[in-house]
Amino acid sequence: MEAPDRNLGLDLVRVTEAAALSSSRWLGRGDKNAGDQAAVDAMRLSFNTLPIDGVIIIGEGEKDEAPMLYNGERVGSGQGHAVDVAVDPVEGTNLLAYGRPNAISVVGIAPRGSMFNPGPSYYMQKLVVPPQAKEAVELDAPIGENLKKIAKALGKDMDDLVVFVLDKPRHKALIQEIRTAGARIQLHTDGDVAGSLMAVDPDNVVDVMCGTGGTPEGVLSACAIRALGGRMLARLDPQSEAEAAALAEAGIDCKQVFTEETLVRSDDTYFAATGISGGAFLEGVAFTGTHAVTHSLVMRGKTGTMRRIETRIRLDKLMEISAVKYD
């Protein structure tokens, strides 16, 4: 038996809260770069207070041409646990810019050397299911067959199932196959980290997330999926000749099937997410005039713990001490 030790997830949530609070001022204003920059600045400053020796494996890198929180950057105080860090200061920058639901701020950490480094891979085919269906799915099986097995594992009829799919041209055939199978669909323009979390959250109506989304987002999601006992099956899925050539040059096998356990090779994970724009998954940042209210999820893989946290922040007190201008 082990004595309880420090839950770094409760430190991480301060990082995602700061990013959400700062970026939420840009909700619906049509400037995704400004919203993302606000989140990056607040997150980076908050990281400096954490008792970790962190290296960013999944960051704001070449894909978004972001200036900070880049892959390889060191974060934290430099003291304490040596960890790999995955961040997405605003998951769903377009959702934030156009005032759409489910923009969130997310951070995951795991012991140093345990996170898969996607290198030049930007896109990944994914299938995410809750714990009850963990052994029922195969990545190469037809989606209709997988859905039948998932429904049976969950004790549901086929038309009870809700499948999260990104509304992209590449998913036209997939969407038709799901409809033919008889399952229901939630189509989202962006945000497959949120989709993965919905699929493994026991309180959410989504049962499955499938389709091709970001490789970095897949690794980040795996931190949470491990904590909640769900299953992710994934394979690199380059969407351009340039991406395919870069993967071939790097000697990366695009046929390999990953799971949440090979994307993050430790169950000692921590994950935090805070809602920015609101939605069915996490409520967004609300301003009352005197306070800000945030809603977050915090998970710890080692104990399988998930906490929902509502934070009320007095803006006048915060602004007396904060280096970030939240107002």
Q: Which has the minimum average pLDDT: 60-64, 114-118, 247-251?
A: 60-64
Q: pLDDT at position 316, please?
A: 83
Q: Which among 248, 263, 278 is the end of a domain?
A: 263
Angle separating helix axes 215-228 and 192-200, nearest 10 degrees:
20
Strands lying side by side in the sheet with 258-259 = 184-188, 162-166, 208-214, 123-129, 231-236, 258-259
Q: Domain boundary residue among 233, 248, 263?
A: 263
Whether residue 210 sits in one domain with residue 257: yes
296: nearest Cα among 304, 306, 287: 306
pLDDT reported for residue 284? 97
Q: For all residues of the chain together, what is the average pLDDT? A: 93
What pLDDT was estimated at residue 160?
98
The predicted pLDDT at position 319 comes to: 79
Identity at 309, one-letter amino acid code? I
Q: Which of 45-49, 132-136, 169-173 has the lowest mean pLDDT?
A: 45-49
Within a domain: residue 2? no
211/226 Cα distance (integer angstroms): 20
pLDDT digits (tens, 9 = 90+) for 148-204: 999 999 999 999 999 999 999 999 999 999 999 999 999 999 999 999 999 999 999
**Assigned token pair, 77:** 């105080």
- Which pLDDT score, from 0 to 100, does residue 69 have? 87
| Residues whose CB falls within 8 Å of the CB of residue 135, separated by 6 or more in sequence, listed in order | 153, 231
pLDDT score of 65 more than 60: no
Question: Binding-site residues, please?
Answer: 36, 60, 88, 91-93, 123, 168-170, 190-192, 214, 217
- The span from the CA of 175 to the CA of 143, in Å, is 10
CATH number at residue 35: 3.30.540.10
Looking at the fold, whether 146 and 251 belong to one and the same domain comes out as yes
254 lies in the same domain as 295: no
**Residue 300 scores a pLDDT above 70:** yes
**Pair 80, 111: CB distance under 8 Å:** no
Do residues 212 and 134 both lie within one domain? yes
Domain of residue 155, CATH code: 3.40.190.90
Q: Which run of H or E residues covers position 259?
A: strand 258-259
Hunting for tokens 């997830």 — which residue is that?
Answer: 9
**Structural domain contains residue 327:** no
Judge if 17 and 77 occupy the same domain.
yes
Predicted confidence (pLDDT) per residue in 4-37, tens digit: 567 888 999 999 999 999 999 999 999 999 999 9
- The answer on 258 and 127 residing in a single domain is yes
Give the residue, 9 or 97, on which the prediction is more confident.
Answer: 97
How many domains is the chain partitioned into structurally? 2
The whole-number pLDDT of residue 4 equals: 55
Q: What is the DSSP letter of 51?
A: S
What gap in Å lies between CA 213 and CA 201, rounded to an integer? 19
**Is it the case that residue 64 has pLDDT exceeding 70?**
no
Please tell me the predicted confidence (pLDDT) of residue 5.
66
Say what percent of the chain tops pLDDT 70: 95
Say whether both 222 and 166 belong to one domain: yes
- Whether 107 and 140 share a structural domain: no
Q: 181: domain range?
A: 123-263
Cβ of 80: how many Cβ atoms within 10 Å?
14
Annotated binding site for substrate: which residue ranges? 91-93, 123, 168-170, 190-192, 214
The answer to whether residues 239 and 301 belong to one domain is no
Annotated binding site for Mn(2+): 36, 60, 88, 91, 217
Instruction: Examine the pLDDT at 233 and tell me if it is beyond 80.
Output: yes
Is 183 within a domain? yes
Task: Decide which of 2 and 258 is more confident.
Answer: 258
pLDDT at 74 over 80: yes
| 3 occurs within a structural domain | no
Domain boundary among 219, 234, 263: 263
Contact of 291 with 315, CB cutoff 8 Å? yes
Answer yes or no: is 190 within a domain: yes
The per-residue pLDDT for 61 is 62
Asked if residue 286 belongs to a domain, the reply is yes
Domain membership of residue 187 (yes or no) is yes
Return the number of other C-beta atoms located less than 10 Å from residue 140's C-beta: 8
> Is residue 228 located within the same domain as residue 259?
yes
Contact between 61 and 123 under an 8 Å Cβ cutoff? The reply is no
**What pLDDT does residue 63 have?**
45
What's residue 6's pLDDT?
Answer: 75
List, in order, residues 6 or more apart from 274 with CB less than 8 Å away. Answer: 13, 16, 17, 19, 20, 104, 105, 282, 285, 294, 295, 296
User: Is the domain of 303 the same as that of 178?
Assistant: no
* Predicted confidence band of residue 320 (pLDDT cuts 50, 70, 90): confident
Q: Are residues 182 and 257 in the same domain?
A: yes
Q: What is the mean pLDDT of residues 97-126?
A: 96
Provide the 3-class DSSP secondary structure of residue 240.
coil
Note whether residue 325 is domain-resident.
Answer: no
